[in-house]
Amino acid sequence: MSVSFRAVIVVAISFASLAGVLGAIGGRMVDVDQQHPRSDRRALHTEPVYDPLEEDTEFWHNLAQKSLHDQKARRKDDRRAKNVVFFIGDGMSLTTVVATRMYLGNENMSLSFEQFPYFGLTKTYCVNRQVADSACTASAYLSGVKVNYGTLNVAASVRRSTCEYDHEATEFKGLLQWAQESGKATGLVTNTRITHATPAGAYASSANRDWEDDSEVNTGCPTTPEENKPVDIATQLVHGSVGKNLKVILGCGRRHLLPKETKDEDGVSGTRSDGVNLIDAWKEVHADMGEARYVYDRETLLEAAKSKKVDYLLGLFGSSHCLYNLEIDDQDLEDRKPKLTDMVDAALSMLEDSEKGYVLFVEGGLIDTAHHSNRPRLSLEETNEFHKAIDLARKRTSEDDTLIVVSSDHSHTLMYNGYPTRGNDILGIGDVSDMDGLPYTTLSYANGDGFYQTYVDGNPSQRIDITNYDLKDYRQRYLATVPLSSETHGGEDVGVYASGPSAHLFGGSTEQNVIPLLIAYAANIGEEFGWVTNTSPTDNNGNGDASMITASHMLATCLVAFGTFVRQLYRHIQRNEPGAHFWIAYAANTGEEFGWMTNTVPTEDNGR
């Protein structure tokens, strides 16, 4: 006996809504008028700025109809991907994404990756911490295993800073190694140190993310016999099985590859204590593998990328992390220091002719470092650059054979708060407090060094008047509630966005460690998982793995998809988003004025 799909949706939504109402009633501890004051207490009487068409109901109906049309046009795409570009915006919380929209000028706009057809959420915790760092998350989204805070690609049985452990039993392969074993070319791009936690997750295993060179290993393991000491991360980049086979490596952090006695191109000394110059070692390793070139500025990078004679490319553009975009502009270094878009463009040029395809991993890492110092303008500008790099990658590649996945490793404590009018400067004053009569910013942080720009002499009972703060200055720290030397990460879920072959796999809510397996499946790599076929990715049209899809898999997929659909509808209702109620009306075959109603019996139409 069939059950009306529309009826099921309506019942499910009703239960979800009822649960939300009951939860609110059961948990009410204060007068709701105090939660949402009836009177307008705003002290800043600014006129909102918006498109006058938004006052017309047809504007919102048309917007919702377009959204519905786009949703209906989406089709499951079972093709396998020849190429993959995987972007991580380090610390790019959903709040950061929303604030960047406003930074670029409009609440209604979408960043490049927000226009991708599929979106989901991932859970970012470590095995032993509720709020994650970039090392344990990198292990999850690059290797498929959740580990301890501060560790890279070693099982959670290994505690942080363990100097001696069974490497063979506790270390594991990851996405780039699966790609290399399948004959695909691989590349790595970051605007942080190339040995920093996120990029290191692509090629290294370490019980401590801080062991970037041998001097740090010696400090962490002073009594460990030399032959048993862990291999530092920089050495793994040059001599490790994954690192040495990367066709392109672009980022910063020269200091960890150079000895203390050697200065880099900017006159900064290295930090290695073993006397080894790993940049020279990289050249030697690749001497017999093809044409290898090391570059150190934007000019030499672009020259190498244009050359079709370069087989392996190493580019390091700073001693520690790369400069922020705004610093590059402020210091007129555009001709010397490449930005993230430059590096992504160069990496694609290096990889695009690979016969069996490629996997490129890209980190926009300075989003995170700016948040740690409570400097939102820097972070939003870095998110803007990240969005540009993704747009470039999508335009340079084909959706027919290239899967692009965008996510974040963790969030931050950035808050978008108050009730600012439309058009208000996202980096400016949000309003004036009705308690102390002092202004506050629309953006602020839960903790961090900005505390000392918030309260007089660190006294939480007396706020500083920020009226004369130069909030346009990218060096300005913003308000923070709890004093910390460095702002922390946040523990909430982060987004994942996908476009291209098999992109539909990335919808819904999932654990972060699922991401690399989804990518591996989509790219037909990761032979140990049993899903690799001999079918050409561009020819299989979704049929190459038909034997794998059992009835139980189909049932599970349907249940998950249905659950996701209901959750998404409920979330849209809660947010009161235009379009949510249109989807419900369409699914329930109601709303005659919109022209989609049919006379078909719901249980027989097979299409709705």
**pLDDT surpassing 50 at residue 171:** yes
Question: Is the Cβ–Cβ distance between 378 and 474 less than 8 Å?
Answer: yes
Q: Where would I find the H helices in 469-608? A: 515-523, 551-575, 580-587
pLDDT at 561 (0 to 100)? 47
pLDDT at 31 (0 to 100)? 55
**pLDDT surpassing 80 at residue 549:** no
Count of Cβ atoms closer than 10 Å to residue 293 Cβ: 19
pLDDT at 108 (0 to 100)? 86
Q: Which of 34-48, 472-486, 580-594 has the lowest mean pLDDT?
A: 34-48
In a domain? residue 176: yes
In a domain? residue 443: yes
In a domain? residue 601: no
Question: Is the Cβ–Cβ distance between 371 and 456 less than 8 Å?
Answer: no
Q: Looking at per-residue confidence, does 551 or 516 come out higher? A: 516
In a domain? residue 476: yes
- Choose the most confident range, by mean pLDDT, from 47-51, 206-210, 583-587: 206-210
- DSSP label at residue 184: -
CATH classification at residue 409: 3.40.720.10
The reply to whether 186 and 296 lie within a common domain is yes
Which pTM does this prediction carry? 0.84
CA distance 567 to 510: 13
In a domain? residue 494: yes
- Rounded to an integer, what is the distance from CA 131 to the centroid of its chain? 16
The reply to whether 294 and 163 lie within a common domain is yes
Q: 139-156 burial string, b = 16+ CB within 10 Å, else e?
A: bbbbbbbbbbbbbbbbbb
What's the rounded mean pLDDT across residues 382-403? 99
The reply to whether 345 and 472 lie within a common domain is no
Q: Which of 14-28, 275-289, 380-394 has the lowest mean pLDDT?
A: 14-28
In a domain? residue 542: no
- pLDDT above 70 covers what percent of the chain? 81
The reply to whether 380 and 429 lie within a common domain is no
What's the rounded mean pLDDT across residues 323-345? 98
198 assigned to a ligand binding site:
yes
pLDDT at 486 (0 to 100)? 98
The reply to whether 300 and 383 lie within a common domain is yes
Domain that holds residue 37: 5-73+556-594
The reply to whether 167 and 34 lie within a common domain is no
pLDDT at 563 (0 to 100)? 53
- DSSP label at residue 455: B
**pLDDT surpassing 50 at residue 337:** yes
31 assigned to a ligand binding site:
no
The reply to whether 64 and 202 lie within a common domain is no
**pLDDT surpassing 50 at residue 21:** no
Domain boundary residue, one of 483, 509, 538:
483
pLDDT at 311 (0 to 100)? 97
Q: 469-495 burial string, b = 16+ CB within 10 Å, else e?
A: bebeebebbbbbbeebeebbbbebbbb
The reply to whether 100 and 129 lie within a common domain is yes
Q: Which amino acid is located at 286 in the chain? A: H
- pLDDT above 90 covers what percent of the chain? 72
**C-alpha to C-alpha distances, 189 to 84, 224, 460, nearest whole angstrom:** 14, 33, 42
Mean of all residue pLDDT scores within the chain: 87
Domains: count for the chain = 3
The reply to whether 430 and 338 lie within a common domain is no
Count of Cβ atoms closer than 10 Å to residue 581 Cβ: 15
Domain boundary residue, one of 463, 483, 503:
483
pLDDT at 567 (0 to 100)? 52
410 assigned to a ligand binding site:
yes
The reply to whether 62 and 135 lie within a common domain is no
56 assigned to a ligand binding site:
no
End-to-end CA distance of the chain: 18
In a domain? residue 551: no
The reply to whether 285 and 174 lie within a common domain is yes
Report the run of H or E that residue 395 belongs to, with start and end.
helix 376-396
**pLDDT surpassing 50 at residue 332:** yes
In a domain? residue 534: no
90 assigned to a ligand binding site:
yes
Q: Looking at per-residue confidence, does 78 or 474 come out higher? A: 474
Task: Give residues with Cβ within 8 angstroms of 312, minimum separation 6.
Answer: 246, 247, 248, 286, 289, 290, 291, 292, 293
- Rounded to an integer, what is the distance from CA 307 to the centroid of its chain? 31
CA distance 470 to 558: 53
Count of Cβ atoms closer than 10 Å to residue 528 Cβ: 10
pLDDT tens digits along 42-99: 556 678 888 888 888 888 888 788 877 777 777 788 899 999 999 999 999 999 999 9
Give catalytic residues, as residue numbers: 134
45 assigned to a ligand binding site:
no
The reply to whether 409 and 513 lie within a common domain is yes
What's the rounded mean pLDDT across residues 5-33? 48
What's the rounded mean pLDDT across residues 442-457? 96
Q: Looking at per-residue confidence, does 566 or 505 come out higher? A: 505
